[in-house]
């Protein structure tokens, strides 16, 4: 299969010695690459084999591609060129595609960041915190942390506790990047009618915010980099990532 060293692969390893397949009797020589796969049935009844991807890598790549497509439309329609103070897309489909690409970029960047954070939580880790009162201390295992603790708390408290490092909250540019990304993600996911109305330039609706958004994939990578720098081993996808 082409792309056997693709940076989005979850796991790659190599055989330490020759191996004979019990199904085909073919011999794979020492040093041969082994890629973890997943299989699923498709509607035709066939069984599809897929190389197992790293979710964060997929999302970051998708976010970057969507942002690049939006930027390309902006250049194509020359929104930042010329002396005129009033500009517009030349047709409605281009305007809507531009906004769609930006929303996609934000949502996938946020999803990729959350996937990364959840991956960093050890299986046997427990996190103690006051949930419903200042009296009762609740202990959560990895499953509960992933499901019930906010991404903000995971980034500001859980991961710093695991890695025994200073929280990024209030101490780094990465925290500001996270807040900007989360704010827009929340506004898109929980769209309020007031936030998507027609408005003048000085009113900050979701449409105004999208037009001025910073690259979402870079914001997500900013947070990821903060923790990778304090980890003993960087994820394979991060080391191979061509976007940084």
Domain-located, residue 68: yes
The count of domains in the chain is 2
| Cα(90)–Cα(77) distance, integer angstroms | 7
Burial environment of residue 2 by CB neighbours within 10 A (0 to 12, 13 to 18, 19 or more): exposed
DSSP SS3 for 56: helix
Question: pTM of the full predicted structure?
Answer: 0.88
Share of the chain above pLDDT 70, in %: 91
Q: What is the pLDDT of residue 170?
A: 86
Q: Are residues 186 and 204 in the same domain?
A: yes
Give the residue-averaged pLDDT of 35-41. 88
> Which of 17-26, 109-118, 164-173: highest mean pLDDT?
109-118
Q: Are residues 86 and 108 in the same domain?
A: yes
CA distances from 155 to 4, 7, 114, 126, 173 (A): 32, 24, 9, 15, 13
| Cα(143)–Cα(125) distance, integer angstroms | 10
Q: Are 56 and 111 in contact (CB under 8 A)?
A: no
| Cα(181)–Cα(159) distance, integer angstroms | 19
Give the residue-averaged pLDDT of 64-92. 95
Domain-located, residue 136: no
Share of the chain above pLDDT 90, in %: 72
Q: Are residues 169 and 230 in the same domain?
A: yes
Computed over every residue of the chain, the mean pLDDT equals 90
Domain-located, residue 86: yes
CA distances from 28 to 15, 17, 20, 52, 175 (A): 8, 9, 6, 20, 47
Domain-located, residue 62: yes
Q: Are residues 41 and 154 in the same domain?
A: no
Q: Are residues 76 and 41 in the same domain?
A: no
Q: Are residues 33 and 112 in the same domain?
A: no
Q: Are residues 166 and 217 in the same domain?
A: yes
Query: Per-residue b/e over 184-212, b at no fewer than 16 CB within 10 Å?
Result: bbebbeeeeeebeeeeeeeeebbbebbee
Domain-located, residue 185: yes
Q: Are residues 106 and 201 in the same domain?
A: yes
Comparing CA positions, the residue from 235, 241, 237, 220 lying closest to residue 105 is: 220
Greater confidence, 25 or 76?
A: 76
Q: Are residues 40 and 66 in the same domain?
A: no
Q: Are residues 98 and 153 in the same domain?
A: yes
| Cα(165)–Cα(150) distance, integer angstroms | 19
Q: What is the pLDDT of residue 125?
A: 95
CA 35 from centre of chain: 22
Q: Are residues 169 and 208 in the same domain?
A: yes
Domain-located, residue 153: yes
Side-chain-side CA neighbours of 222 within 13 Å: the count stands at 18
Which range of residues forms the domain containing residue 41?
12-51
H/E stretch holding 37 reads strand 37-41
> What stretches of 149-234 show up as alpha helix (H) in DSSP?
151-153, 159-163, 173-189, 206-211, 216-228
Please check the confidence at residue 208 and state whether its pLDDT lies above 60: yes
Tokens 């991060």 belong to: 238
Q: Are residues 47 and 163 in the same domain?
A: no
pLDDT tens profile 102-157: 999 999 999 999 999 999 999 999 998 876 666 567 888 999 999 999 999 999 99
Count how many residues are written for the chain: 244
| Cα(111)–Cα(59) distance, integer angstroms | 7
Give the residue-averaged pLDDT of 55-66. 98
């Amino acid at each position: 299969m082409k792309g056997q060293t693709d940076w989005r692969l979850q796991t790659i390893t190599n055989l330490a010695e020759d191996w004979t397949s019990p199904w085909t009797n073919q011999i794979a020589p020492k040093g041969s690459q082994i890629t973890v796969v997943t299989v699923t049935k498709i509607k035709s009844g066939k069984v599809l084999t897929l190389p197992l991807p790293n979710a964060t890598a997929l999302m970051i790549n998708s976010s970057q591609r969507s942002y690049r497509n939006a930027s390309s439309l902006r250049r194509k329609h020359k929104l930042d060129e010329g002396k005129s103070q009033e500009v517009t897309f030349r047709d409605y489909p281009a305007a809507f595609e531009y906004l769609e690409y930006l929303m996609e970029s934000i949502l996938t960047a946020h999803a990729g960041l959350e996937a990364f954070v959840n991956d960093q939580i050890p299986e046997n880790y427990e996190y103690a915190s006051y949930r419903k009162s200042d009296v009762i201390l609740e202990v959560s295992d990895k499953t509960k942390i992933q499901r019930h603790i906010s991404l903000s708390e995971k980034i500001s408290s859980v991961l710093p506790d695991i890695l025994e490092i200073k929280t990024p909250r209030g101490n780094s540019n990465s925290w500001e990047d996270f807040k900007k990304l989360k704010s827009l993600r929340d506004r898109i996911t929980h769209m309020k009618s007031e936030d998507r109305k027609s408005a003048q330039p000085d009113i900050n609706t979701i449409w105004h915010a999208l037009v001025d958004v910073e690259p979402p994939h870079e914001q997500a990578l900013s947070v990821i980099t903060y923790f990778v720098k304090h980890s003993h081993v960087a994820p394979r996808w991060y080391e191979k990532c061509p976007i940084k």
